[in-house]
């Protein structure tokens, strides 16, 4: 693809990618990869999660899911190398590539994949994953400009993905704070507690039941129940607040 045409298409793609949530951002990214990169028959995105766990939340077809999962299970393959070790990994002929002695023969036989290009998705702050491009032909990504196009697209995807993740994290944080605020309001109104004391009640129940405070707050908001007795004064458990499973009706109800 001519450089000017690619630049224009990437500019349009960047605007589209930057306006969506994580799921839609990734779905658009893999579709763009097939459209923009000549040798690409199918594409997927591998994301890094806590504990270095990887998954593929977006792909153009099931063969990508199978090829990616096989890499995760075997702990070998170009995606694994791109995520953890190299910015870009290209295999012109998987049937004769000894870097992945178990994975490569299987995807050639099971999926008909012959070549692959994987590009790390990263920002200045962290590694996000990899953009995985599959081709049914040998030398699918050896034309002039293939790696440049892949790197350019991956850079846009990484920025858009990081922005979408940040927005989702902020939205989740706001929702969580709202739920905790509602739970505090219920305790304050029903039992005449201060905000600090109501928060201590949630903390105590969380500790006693070995459950996250957010889960306790969510349950209280939805059911008006606390799962365990709590002493408002910080002493031994009592029935002063509620017996296990008792309702906590709002005033006027």
Q: Which single residue is written with the structure tokens 């995105």?
A: 45
Asked if residue 178 is part of any domain, the answer here is no
Asked if residue 247 is part of any domain, the answer here is yes
pLDDT given for residue 175 in this prediction: 85
pLDDT given for residue 249 in this prediction: 46
Asked if residue 183 is part of any domain, the answer here is no
Q: Give the gyration radius of the chain's Cα atoms.
A: 26
Same domain? 146 vs 219: no
The DSSP 8-state label assigned to residue 253 in this structure reads -
Confidence class for position 243, pLDDT limits 50, 70, 90: very low
Q: Which of 165, 184, 205 is the last residue of a domain?
A: 165
Evaluate whether 195 touches 188 at the Cβ level (below 8 Å).
yes
| Percentage of the residues of the chain whose pLDDT score is greater than 70 | 77
pLDDT given for residue 125 in this prediction: 65
Q: Which single residue is written with the structure tokens 């806590």?
A: 50
Same domain? 197 vs 125: no
Q: How many domains does the chain have?
A: 2
pLDDT tens for each residue of 181-195: 999 999 888 888 888
The DSSP 8-state label assigned to residue 232 in this structure reads T
Same domain? 106 vs 231: no
For residue 161, count other CB atoms closer than 10 A to its CB. Answer: 24
Same domain? 56 vs 142: yes
49 vs 33: CA distance, rounded Å: 23
Asked if residue 244 is part of any domain, the answer here is yes
Longest dimension (CA), the chain: 76
pLDDT given for residue 114 in this prediction: 97
Same domain? 48 vs 149: yes
Copy the structure tokens of residue 141: 């990504």
pLDDT tens for each residue of 73-132: 999 999 999 999 889 999 999 999 999 999 999 999 999 999 999 999 986 567 779 999
Asked if residue 222 is part of any domain, the answer here is yes
Same domain? 93 vs 147: yes
Q: Is the pTM of this model over 0.75?
A: no
Q: Which of 165, 182, 205 is the last residue of a domain?
A: 165
Copy the structure tokens of residue 120: 């790390």
Cα–Cα distances in Å, from 70 out to 2, 79, 138?
35, 11, 20
Same domain? 159 vs 196: no
| Closest residue by Cα to residue 65 from 33, 128, 11, 110 | 110
Asked if residue 201 is part of any domain, the answer here is yes
The DSSP 8-state label assigned to residue 67 in this structure reads H
Copy the structure tokens of residue 101: 């002695």
pLDDT given for residue 7 in this prediction: 59
118 vs 82: CA distance, rounded Å: 6
Q: Which residue has the higher pLDDT, 16 or 44?
A: 44
Same domain? 141 vs 207: no
Q: Which residue has the higher pLDDT, 52 or 162?
A: 52
16 vs 121: CA distance, rounded Å: 18
Same domain? 147 vs 52: yes
CATH number for position 73: 3.30.450.40
pLDDT tens for each residue of 115-168: 999 999 986 567 779 999 999 999 999 877 788 888 888 887 887 777 766 767
Same domain? 159 vs 202: no
How far, rounded to the nearest angstrom, does the alpha carbon of residue 236 sit from its chain's CA centroid? 42
Same domain? 111 vs 10: yes
| Closest residue by Cα to residue 126 from 169, 173, 189 | 169
Domain membership of residue 228 as a residue range: 192-253
pLDDT given for residue 102 in this prediction: 97
> Where does 19-145 have alpha helices with state H?
22-36, 62-74, 78-84, 103-111
pLDDT tens for each residue of 15-35: 565 556 778 888 888 998 998
Contacts 24+ apart (CB under 8 A), 207-214: 208/237, 213/180, 214/176, 214/179, 214/180
Same domain? 37 vs 127: yes
**DSSP H or E run through 149:** helix 146-191
63 vs 57: CA distance, rounded Å: 14
Q: Which of 147, 165, 183 is the last residue of a domain?
A: 165
Asked if residue 181 is part of any domain, the answer here is no
Q: Which residue has the higher pLDDT, 63 or 27?
A: 63
Cα–Cα distances in Å, from 4 out to 34, 153, 194?
18, 14, 63
Asked if residue 173 is part of any domain, the answer here is no
């Amino acid at each position: 693809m001519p450089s000017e045409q690619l630049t224009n298409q990437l500019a349009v793609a960047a605007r589209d990618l930057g306006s969506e949530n994580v799921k839609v951002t990734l779905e658009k990214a893999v579709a763009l990869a097939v459209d923009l990169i000549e040798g690409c028959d199918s594409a997927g995105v591998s994301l890094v999660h806590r504990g270095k766990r990887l998954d593929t939340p977006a792909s153009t077809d099931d063969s990508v899911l199978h090829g990616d999962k096989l890499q995760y299970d075997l702990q070998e393959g170009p995606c694994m190398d791109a995520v953890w070790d190299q910015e870009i990994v290209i295999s012109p002929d998987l049937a004769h590539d000894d870097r992945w002695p178990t994975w490569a023969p299987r995807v050639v036989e099971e999926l008909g994949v012959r070549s692959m290009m994987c590009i790390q998705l990263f920002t200045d702050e962290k590694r996000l994953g990899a953009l995985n491009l599959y081709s049914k032909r040998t030398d699918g990504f050896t034309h002039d400009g293939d790696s440049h196009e892949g790197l350019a697209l991956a850079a846009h995807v990484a920025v858009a993905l990081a922005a979408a993740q940040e927005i989702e994290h902020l939205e989740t944080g706001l929702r969580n704070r709202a739920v905790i605020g509602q739970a505090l309001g219920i305790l304050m109104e029903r039992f005449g507690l201060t905000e600090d004391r109501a928060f201590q009640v949630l903390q105590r129940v969380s500790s006693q039941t070995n459950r996250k405070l957010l889960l306790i707050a969510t349950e209280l908001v939805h059911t008006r129940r606390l799962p365990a007795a709590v002493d408002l004064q910080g002493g031994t458990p009592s029935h002063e607040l509620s017996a296990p499973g008792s309702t906590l009706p709002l005033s006027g109800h």
